[in-house]
Amino acid sequence: MIAAPRSVRRTAPLGRPVRLTLIAGTAVLGTVLTACTGASASDSDKGSGKGGAAAPASEARISVNLRGSQAAPGSPVKVTLGSGKLKTVTVSAKGGEALTGRISADGRTWTSDRPAAPGTTYGVEAKNTEGGSAEAGFTTAAADKVNKLTLAPGKNTTVGIAQPLSIVFDNPVKDRAAVEKALKVTTSNNTEGSWGWLQDYSGKDRVDWRPKEYWKSGTKVTLDADLNGIDSGPSGGWFVRDYRTTFTIGADQVVEVDLDRHRLALKRDGKTVMDVPMSAGTPGGEKASWRGTAVLMSKEGTINMRSETVGLGDAYDKMVDSSMRLTWSGMYAHAAPWNAAYFGVANRSSGCVGMSDANAAALYRQVRVGDPFEITGADAKGTVAEGNGYGAWNVSWSDWQAKSAL
């Protein structure tokens, strides 16, 4: 037997009483909305009589597809009227916002735009065009496993023209299409871009949104990740909250690194503002530098660099100034005064792009996270992979679009 809803409210316009009665067999909310009108004296022969009983109008049943205290999350909420037309439907989460939704063309069904989230208590209020209303409620089952994520760039930041939107998930995402549909990117100038799924250097699932070409300076970007109530699939778990981030694109800056000429140049708005000698990774082995486009991930200042952390044994253990991270695998641009004899002459570092103290400090002051380092030349061990930092720019546009789940 189906339990009655917790409460039923009756409302009716003056002079038109409306009777609401629970009907067995409905999902959660079963009501009969019956309008009565006063009968005239001429109706007495038809059974109403002078001052007699009102004639009932046609009955209508309203049902909700979710019910009880352990309703299954992940599906839209549907409220259906057996006959007549719905006027309004409100479905509100306890302590949260109401779900938006739409009434069908025939006026009989309301469907929420988003699914019901796990572990949430909802109140339902439906009104028909005749003035009747009723309330009910249900609670969805709690998530047995929760998926979370890490967003880049940070909220309200200003970043370089190559910075992608990047989302790394704590748990595997099997239903990538469902997740991607919940991710909405809005830009101030209708920038063309696409999501692409990849494996992060950490081994976790990741999805990045990059423009077709570098961002235009001044572009404002917003991500609305309406993930609450989305199931990421087996072993992944449910998302139980939404996420939002906004950022702005800064100056049009590109750092050009020429491995063959052993020089580094900073260009702003197409004009060269720095051109300095450097020494990159020793060619012919694991100490060689990567080529391709690497995006500045972070400005880390003075840090301790130890060769054992990148698989190079005990080759070095140094405190390094003006450190600018380019990949997760440990490639940096930084000050390297111990390598001064090779600046502008040869590549003789352990994979990083080294400069004098003064030149590294000057570059460090001017670049920002998200600036592209375009690395060219033969003295490289390969191209920066898309998951090793932000290497999406090393994938053709068509191949990047193919990485979308939609």
Please determine, for residue 5, whether its predicted confidence score (pLDDT) is greater than 50. no
pLDDT digits (tens, 9 = 90+) for 168-203: 999 999 999 999 999 999 999 999 999 999 999 999
The dihedral sign for the CA sequence 390, 396, 397, 400: negative
Predicted confidence (pLDDT) at residue 45 exceeds the cutoff of 60: no
Report the pLDDT averaged over residues 241-256.
Answer: 98
pLDDT bracket for residue 315 (50, 70, 90): low
Q: Which residues pair with 391 in a beta bridge?
A: none
SS3 270: coil
The closest alpha carbon to 162, from 93, 214, 203, 197, belongs to 214
What's the half-sphere exposure (Cβ side, CA atoms, 13 Å) at 204? 15
Q: How confident is the model at residue 131 (pLDDT cuts 50, 70, 90)?
A: confident
| 390-403 tens-digit pLDDT | 999 999 999 999 99
Q: What is the mean pLDDT of the chain?
A: 87
CATH for 253-394? 2.40.440.10
264 strand-pairing partners: 257, 276
Supply the pLDDT for residue 23. Answer: 33
The SS3 of residue 347 is: coil
What's the alpha-carbon Rg for the chain, to the nearest Å?
Answer: 32
Please report, for residues 49, 60, 130, 138, 306, the alpha-carbon distance to residue 19 in angstroms, rounded to integers and kept in the order given: 22, 11, 11, 23, 79
What pLDDT score was predicted for residue 137?
A: 92
- Strand 372-376 relative to strand 271-277, pairing: unpaired
CATH of domain 18-139: 2.60.40.3780
Mean pLDDT throughout 217-246? 97
Structure tokens at 73: 């999350």
Q: Residue ranges per domain, the chain?
A: 18-139, 149-250, 253-394
User: The whole model's pTM is what?
Assistant: 0.83
The pLDDT score that the predictor gives to residue 338 is: 96
Among all chains, which residue has been given the structure tokens 């932000």? 390
> Percentage of the chain with pLDDT > 90?
78
- What is the dotted CATH code of the domain comprising 149-250? 2.60.40.3710
Please say if the pLDDT value at position 59 is more than 80.
Answer: no
pLDDT at 4 over 50: no
Lowest mean pLDDT among 305-314, 332-341, 376-385: 305-314
Q: Give the mean model confidence (pLDDT) for residues 233-261.
A: 97
Cis-peptide, bond into residue 153, ω within 30° of zero = yes
Q: Is the pLDDT assigned to residue 26 strictly greater than 90?
A: no
369 confidence band (pLDDT: 50, 70, 90): very high
Instruction: Give yes or no for residue 33 having a pLDDT over 60.
Output: no
- String of DSSP letters for 180-239: HHTEEEEETT---EEEEEEE-TTS-EEEEEEESSPPPTT-EEEEEE--TT-B--TTT-B-
For position 96, what pLDDT does the model report? Answer: 84
262: helix, strand or coil: coil
What is the structure's pLDDT at 51?
38
Q: Give the residue numbers marked as catalytic.
A: 334, 352
Q: Strand, helix or coil at 119? A: coil
For the chain, what percent of residues have pLDDT higher than 70?
83
pLDDT at 30 over 60: no
- What per-residue confidence (pLDDT) applies to 250? 98
As a three-state string, the secondary structure of 291-304 is EEEEECCEEEEEEE
Q: Check for a shared fold between 18-139 and 253-394.
A: no
Cα gap 192→389, rounded to integer Å: 22
Segment 42-65 shows an average pLDDT of: 47
Q: How confident is the model at residue 93 (pLDDT cuts 50, 70, 90)?
A: very high
Cα–Cα dist 28/222, whole Å: 38
* Position 136 confidence tier, pLDDT thresholds 50, 70, 90: confident
